Amino acid sequence: MAKITKDMSFIQAIQSHPKAAEILSKYDMGCIGCMGAAGETIEQGAIAHGVDVNELIKELNALFKKK
């Protein structure tokens, strides 16, 4: 099972699971299309958007448990 961590960039998270972009959009994190998506970590983006990074990571990793 793959795992998304708060140290990953947005691009890495999206590449690890195709539905990761949907979760990020749900949290109003439009970072997926911005210039920082390749270098900014999920944690940095979460802090900038006032999102609980632990909850976000938990939800992203739940994608790998769904069939």
Please provide the DSSP assignment of the chain as one string.
-----TTSBHHHHHHH-TTHHHHHHHTT-GGGGSGGGGTSBHHHHHHHHT--HHHHHHHHHHTTT--
pLDDT of 61 > 90? The answer is yes
The answer to whether position 42 is within a domain reads yes
Distance CA 9, CA 21 (A): 12
Tell me the residue range of the domain where 42 lies.
Answer: 10-62
pLDDT, residue 11, reads 87
Q: What is the pLDDT of residues 18-28, one digit of tens each?
A: 899 899 989 88
pLDDT, residue 2, reads 65
Q: What is the pLDDT of residues 17-55, one digit of tens each?
A: 989 989 998 988 865 566 666 788 999 989 988 999 999
What CATH number did the domain enclosing 54 receive?
Answer: 1.10.3910.10
Domain total for the chain? 1
Question: Which residues share a beta bridge with 9?
Answer: 41
* This prediction's pTM: 0.84
Closest CA to 37 of 18, 6, 11, 60: 11
